Structure 1
């Protein structure tokens, strides 16, 4: 899984991430810094998911929101 998203792209995606995972605060998303591993850890903690479940959700989110050519 690609762990990093360019800072500018992450700022654009933060609103979508907030919509997808409403229990995450704006501060949580800022702390994630676009890193998939950090975001998955936060989802795992807040939603009581397994690490694999959280990573799968993040991977799907990143794929659904990647730039299209």
Structure 2
């Protein structure tokens, strides 16, 4: 486990990034007018919550960081 002040700063940043990305994905899917472009846009935006969560878990659980880094790199 990393220092507590790193976790205190990283947690709201992770939650904020995930919230904004999921909201953005929801709005794209709600107004799905250009399927050929929006499919790729949604895939790219989906990388934000995955990367944020895996990075936070790597910080929080140092012993298992190699597994989270592997998931993040896929």
Q: What range describes the TM-score normalised by the shorter chain of this pair?
A: 0.3 to 0.5
TM-score of the aligned structures, taking structure 2 as reference length:
0.32
Give me the TM-score of the superposition, normalised by structure 1: 0.34
> Looking at both structures, which has the greater relative contact order when contacts are Cα pairs under 8 Å and sequence separation is at least 6?
2
Greater helix share, structure number? 2
Pair member with larger Rg: 2
